[in-house]
Amino acid sequence: MRLFGSKALFIIITVLFLAACSAPFEEVIGETNEAVEQEFNEEPDKVNNDNEDIDYRLPFGVEIEEETPNNILLKNGSRTYILFYNQHEDSGSRVVYESTLKQQAEWDANETFEKDGEFGYLLVKTLEEGVYQIVTGVGGVKLTTESKNLKSDAVTMMSIANSVNIK
């Protein structure tokens, strides 16, 4: 019986320790927002992909899986990103952002950025514990995914969105 009590105490202490170590959502969102805004403000790297409507840059490891009008399905390992673009909207447009806002009754994070006439944004919705719907965009371009890696995926997505040039 004493052995069972020691194991139970160890499990309780471990759970409390892990709960104390995990950062609160507000802190994670704050760090993610800062990193995404920094990426938005960066000068995009040279483009390495194009189609008839846009030029864009894909980071190492991200590949095109499928392409349809106005959508490009991207893969990075098991992660899938959807790149949507409206070639009739420039980088300062809010049309795609405003229509995306209406897709959820409420977003857990709704951050916007502006620089030199460009408009960027980060939207996050918690789907389940530790899994998020992430949307980043610049003007008429947005990327969407579901992920457990909020900060790293949001930064990767903003890097891609920020690189898109409408032809």
Q: What is the pLDDT of residue 20?
A: 45
In a domain, 18, yes or no: no
pLDDT for the residue 11: 54
Q: Which residues of the chain have pLDDT under 50?
A: 1, 3, 9, 14-21
Residue-wise pLDDT for 59-89, tens only, equals 999 999 999 999 999 999 999 999 999 999 9
CB 120 within 8 A of CB 40: yes
pLDDT given for residue 24 in this prediction: 86
Nearest to 148 by CA among 129, 166, 120: 129
Domain limits for position 124 = 24-166
pTM: 0.86
The CATH number given to whatever domain includes residue 137 is: 3.40.1000
